[in-house]
Amino acid sequence: MQPVRGQLVIDSADAGHVIARYNPLLIAVFTRSPHEAEAREIQRRAAEAVAAGVRGGVLYVVGRRNMSGGMDPRVRAVFEEMIRSHQDRAGSSAVVILTTGFAASIARLAVAGFIRLFRRASILRVFGSLDEACRWLADVHDLDRDDLLAIYGQITATLDDLPR
pLDDT digits (tens, 9 = 90+) for 31-83: 988 888 898 899 899 888 888 888 888 888 888 776 666 666 777 677 777 76
pLDDT digits (tens, 9 = 90+) for 82-137: 766 666 667 788 888 887 666 666 666 666 666 666 655 557 788 888 999 999 99
> Which domains, ranges and CATH numbers included, belong to the chain?
11-130+138-156 (3.30.750.24)
Q: Contacts for 77-84 with beta carbons within 8 Å, 24 or more apart? A: 78/36, 78/39, 78/40, 78/42, 78/43, 79/39, 79/42, 79/43, 80/114, 80/118, 81/43, 82/42, 82/43, 82/46, 82/47, 83/118, 83/120, 83/124, 84/118
- What pLDDT score does 96 carry? 84
| Averaged pLDDT, 129-152 | 94
Please report which confidence band the pLDDT of residue 151 belongs to, taking 50, 70 and 90 as the band edges: very high
